[in-house]
Amino acid sequence: MIPMTEHEVAKEFDASGLRCPMPILQTKKQVKSIEIGQILKVVATDIGTKKDFPAWAERTGNEIVELVEEDGKLVWYIKRLK
């Protein structure tokens, strides 16, 4: 599946194989390493991220730009807003 839109990704993080709560904890650190307005691409295999990432984004004021499911992986595009 091709993403709906091409995103200019500032950084990519592969969280494949990590189980809850590690994907969200590591993503939190990765988001802090990019500039406000930039996009972090996260590849995850933990289905729990489908609930965790949107809740985290809402709580922290960041934006889930897109979620793409491909080859059993969840590919998240997260924009740092704060």
Given the residues 9, 20, 22, 25, select the one marked as catalytic.
20
Cis previous bond, 3, omega within 30: no
**Contact between residue 52 and residue 23 where contact means Cβ atoms under 8 Å apart:** yes
∠ CA 38-80-54, rounded to 5°: 130
- 26 catalytic residue (yes or no): no
* Distance of alpha carbon 54 from the chain centroid: 9
**Residues recognised as catalytic:** 20
